[in-house]
Structure 1
């Protein structure tokens, strides 16, 4: 009998075989805690016996809740993506949810991809990682009730739950490190002007100089593109100048550009850190293995992914609670439960300065790498 019915069993069949209602089967499959354990066990026994796989579309149309989380992300070869996704995957190991990954490449219509994802109604919520130009569209969907969390540094956090870092404070710490090493002529390679994080990192750099009574020198500001090619280009511009005008240190606003800077420095015989001390930003895996190893600001990418998916699942669970409006509702501890849709949280995780051999105290021997 199980072999004959396998592949064509419906929720109605499961309900009949288990002697329960279709609604009870739906609640069991959606792991609703209100189901009587005895009934739940009876349903799951039938499900396992017949190797039943629920039809996701039918479940959604019946008013059910899927166990799929959409992840909208750039290509996985982006340097931060493996660590972010590791945090997401590790967290989901202990949950009933699975990931549906949608990678946005440069050749695709981003808005069209997003519309197709949401039109299928297969996901319970969406984690958007560096969505770029889709940010405003995502805000609109969130305001219409879509559980959504954003990991983004291109747009200013506004209108949706957001997880990231404080770029201004982190850049301040990077510049302060060079100041404490005795440097006063500190250059900066800025990221794309349209990126919110690039502007904040530049502000942090300027603030650290101001606090040290140093006026930022426009001749020491270079405009990059957050790619290795940008670091190469800015290094070539700097090294083409008279050596007497060079800075003694440079803060580069991401590690990829720092890699390009170090590459050109090596090609042109510029000694790092003896001629110019270098500090980057991100601490990708390769940063500990450059020549010399790169001093940089470490972003907690794995923790960012873990925190974002935790926040998203909390939103989904609360949205599906059959309870009165959450605004002001009391929890068992007596504190109001936050309404994430009315008051979207912005969570900033701490960064860390990782000191390696690319920076050192001015006119002293290089430090040893960890």
Structure 2
């Protein structure tokens, strides 16, 4: 919510309507930010920037927007609107957990956009459990929030979520849910997975295994498809490659790597593909405990490019996806639905392979 000082600043230079005008205005619906943008011949984002005091708008444009705000009787500050609605503008941000740096980056990106537009963010963590996703869906809907951004850890629909989707007040980010038609912000998971697998195979590694994510999640399915494409392209039958599933945590990466070595024995594999960085770090912990050198004995690759990936020993070859920007885009979609912002130009973000020192060149 805007402070008192912000309210005075945003209202500076605006004259209240005369009593007769106010009476007539009260009988009409309140003008929207879209109508202000149309009258001023600018984008909704420019109007929002003027309202929030951004310095990126020229003085001429700022004056034109302010004039249209006054003439239309638009109430641009959140404090005034909140008094009439008896609540602040607010959205929900629901993630599996905040220990995963990628999830935290998505949440920070969404919060960054919300903060710039005086929108309060209610943050919830589900532990990747469907029952908690339903709890937050029902709770946030009951509290009449303006919408919810969901990074699902379960990949499953629930009654509360279906109602939010039907009302058009939910945006999915990173994970989509089958059967639910809602705006979706994602990265090129399949392409990134294919490229990082090609990097490993291209360095001579043909005895490889895959530690994927939960089989029911969209990201896991996309990444596995990309890995299989790279294997097939190199003349390796994907069905002959060992595949185990983790849950995107370090512990699951450790457990899956342990199972691979118990099942196939040391020396059977030269490379392991992990579907995210946390599982790669967990797998590396097991390898080091067993005296297996990375990358001399076994090469590993990850996905996400979390902040610790480049500081890992050895620095981890992985796939970078822009979590912060994805969170921003999701928030922009949601705030567009309530008339605060333009829709983002990008909703499917590129991925990029970061080649570091965790993959050895085989002779």
One fold, TM greater than 0.5? Answer: yes
What secondary structure sits across from 2:231 in the alignment? helix
CA contact (8 A) 1:139 1:160 kept: no
Aligned to 1:223: 245
Aligned to 1:272: 294
The answer as to 2:355 corresponding to 1:352 is no
- Structure 1 runs of 4+ aligned residues shifted over 6 Å read 14-19, 28-32, 39-44
TM-score, L = length of structure 2? 0.73
CA contact (8 A) 1:72 1:131 kept: no
Relative to structure 2, which stretch is displaced further, 288-297 or 125-134? 125-134
Task: Indicate which of 121, 134, 152 corresponds to 1:100.
Answer: 121
Q: 1:213 to 1:268 in 2, by over 3 A?
A: same
Aligned to 2:83: 55
Deviations 1:37-75 (A, max 9, x none): 44688989xx99xx978436547xxxxxx6333323334
Aligned to 1:89: 111
Q: Distance in 1 between matches of 2:132 and 2:111?
A: 27
Deviations 1:258-281 (A, max 9, x none): 111111111111111111111111
Please state how far the C-alpha of 1:309 moved relative to its aligned partner.
1.6
Task: Indicate which of 272, 276, 294 corresponds to 1:250.
Answer: 272
Deviations 1:171-217 (A, max 9, x none): 11111111211212121112222222222222211111111111135
The answer as to 2:143 corresponding to 1:115 is no
Matches within 5 A, 1:279-294: 279-294=301-316
Q: Distance in 2 between matches of 1:189 and 1:67?
A: 42
Q: Distance in 1 between matches of 2:94 and 2:35?
A: 27
Q: Which structure would you say has the larger Rg?
A: 1
Please state how far the C-alpha of 1:307 moved relative to its aligned partner.
1.6
What secondary structure sits across from 1:71 in the alignment? strand
Deviations 1:218-245 (A, max 9, x none): 463233232211211222233344434x
- The structure whose residues are more often helix, as a share, is 2
Task: Indicate which of 182, 193, 216 corresponds to 1:194.
Answer: 216
Q: 1:298 to 1:37 in 2, by over 3 A?
A: closer
Q: Distance in 2 between matches of 1:72 and 1:167?
A: 21
Please state how far the C-alpha of 1:136 moved relative to its aligned partner.
4.8
Q: Distance in 2 between matches of 1:135 and 1:280?
A: 28
Matches within 5 A, 1:39-54: 54=82
Aligned to 2:7: none
Matches within 5 A, 1:263-342: 263-317=285-339
TM-score, L = length of structure 1? 0.71
Q: Distance in 2 between matches of 1:16 and 1:132?
A: 55
What secondary structure sits across from 1:164 in the alignment? strand
Q: Distance in 2 between matches of 1:28 and 1:294?
A: 53
Please state how far the C-alpha of 1:138 moved relative to its aligned partner.
6.1
Task: Indicate which of 159, 162, 168 corresponds to 1:140.
Answer: 162
Q: Distance in 2 between matches of 1:348 and 1:53?
A: 33
Deviations 1:277-310 (A, max 9, x none): 1111111111112221111111110111112122
Q: Distance in 2 between matches of 1:99 and 1:312?
A: 13
Task: Indicate which of 171, 174, 179 corresponds to 2:201.
Answer: 179
Aligned to 1:208: 230
Deviations 1:124-157 (A, max 9, x none): 3322222636645466335533332111426348
CA contact (8 A) 1:167 1:200 kept: yes
Aligned to 1:23: 26
Q: Which runs of 5+ in 2 are unaligned?
A: 1-15, 40-66
Please state how far the C-alpha of 1:355 moved relative to its aligned partner.
0.9
The answer as to 2:92 corresponding to 1:70 is yes
What secondary structure sits across from 1:159 in the alignment? coil
Relative to structure 2, which stretch is displaced further, 69-78 or 280-289? 69-78
